[in-house]
Amino acid sequence: MLLAARELLAVRSPLDAELMVSDMLGAWWGKRLRGGDVEQILGEGLVDYAAKAGTPAALTLLISVAYLGTARQAAKAEGAALALMESDVARPGWADRVGAVKPQGCYVSRDIYGDQDTVVSTFAYNGDDTHALVLVVDYNMRGMARDAWVSTQVDKLLEQAGLEAAGNPMLRFEEIEPQQARALLEFAMKAAREEAYDRKAPKVVSDSYSAYHAFARSRIKALPPGRKRPAPAHSEAPYTRERRAMLAAEFLASDAAENLSDPSAASRCADHIIDYGCDQDFGRPHRVSPAKCETFLLDWLPRKIMLTPAQQDAMPHVLAAWVRFAGARIGLPDQAIRATLDAVWEATARFGVAYRDPTSFGLDRELVERLLPDGDLSALARRAFVFPVLQGMYGDVELDRLNPADEADRRILLEMDHAGELSRPDFAEHLAWHEEIAKRLWDGDPPQMWEAAQRLIDLGHDRHDVLHVLIEIAERIGDHPDELAAALDDIADIPDEPPL
């Protein structure tokens, strides 16, 4: 990277330099390093290396990182750059203008469905080198930033966006306050970072996003603060459980739902649709779109919800009825409702493939339902890991009658799992720790605990040894959630002599 930084000496404008360094800093964006934070190990490591090199290329790199880096990187880079400048290391003329930008205006292009915002923020260096930062915010992915790029053709970009909206009733283009743009984009970039650093998450951003990430983060800080994140389109007041139930009742009594043949299955399906809109879409159960319906049917349901066979058959029909009911309520034009219904029916055939009922793997439905009283399909594997035996007899106790979600029944199941350790003097304390770990894995809190367990299982370690390692860490860390999550993240293997 320091060799590549020599090119910074040849560029003519601070904008070109900032984009080049942003691309460099994006090389490790979204990556994880076992044993430490990637921004600290690689980003701060690069700053330290450049400081020791002391060359003109190193100085230009440090000047750029002082503006584009994380807070820690920027502080270190600024100090190192000042030291090199005091030593009379040469720097290019543009170096004093890095980051010296003023916001010119902020705009947003929105589709009528409320699926995404394309936010355009314009900047200039003392009136020169005007440029636009463009970020795409996806509300079907929890409001995260999905794409970013920079344009120097600002007038042409704004004119084109305005013309597209003027000739398309499905688009809106308007100017927004810079404070609103900052609040919206800060939330979106934070959401993108959280999603990218989730080990289980697939790639969710564009190929170019990482290259512009540092540039975008720094430009957003140039916008004035002071506003809360603006509510997405079609936002509503918070939904309590009672309000959700009332909404479901209104839907089931509406003309849109009159042809649904199985009232019981339709009621449960409606509950899932409403919960998805409230919990995953910023409290917007009425918002419908082709993209939202496809995400719900083909991504969220197959990962999260345990459906009965009747509910599996009913779900596409209930969703189509919901589109008619909710679309009319939020005033979607007929064209948008028809497009959304088309998307539902196109996704229906794929839904049968995407939704894999656990019973299709040979699992007993009654057994699965005991492990998933909340219907959270994503919890099945970790709960089965905690309670691998739920059938048979333990003394006079019939295990089939025990509820692993109940604290008293859970203790009996764990005692049965440790029947060979009853004679150990600290059995009561040891069992209490197994109960603690069982509760955490059952609830998925913190998620890093199940991730650590899976890594150790994949390495071929015995289930009981894995549980004992989790106990040792939880006992050592105590009631410090962030420290516990970090310690679990650092587990790479079990030592030769696992703790008992």
Q: Could you report the per-residue pLDDT of 109-119, keeping only the tens digit for each?
A: 999 999 999 99
pLDDT single digits (tens) 263-291 = 999 999 999 999 999 999 999 999 999 99
φ and ψ at 121, to 5 degrees?
-115, 125
Tokens describing residue 479: 């009631």
Q: How many residues does the chain have?
A: 500
pLDDT single digits (tens) 75-113 = 999 999 999 999 999 988 899 999 999 999 999 999 999
- pLDDT at position 31, please? 85
Which of 233, 194, 17 lies closest to 108, judged by CA?
233
The single-letter code of the amino acid at 238 is P
Mapped onto helix, strand or coil, the DSSP state of residue 145 is strand
pLDDT single digits (tens) 192-215 = 988 887 655 557 899 999 999 999
Residues 276 and 375: their CA atoms lie apart, in Å, by 13
Sign, CA torsion 369/371/375/377? negative
Mapped onto helix, strand or coil, the DSSP state of residue 13 is coil
Tokens describing residue 108: 């947003």
Please, what is the average pLDDT of the chain? 92
Tokens describing residue 195: 């999603």
Cis peptide before 498 (omega within 30 of 0): no
Residues 426 and 68: their CA atoms lie apart, in Å, by 55
**What's the average model confidence in pLDDT over 167-183?**
94
Q: Give the H/E segment covering residue 173.
A: strand 171-176
Quickly count helices (H) and strands (E) in the chain.
21, 7
Instruction: Identify the band that residue 492 occupies on the pLDDT scale cut at 50, 70 and 90.
Output: confident
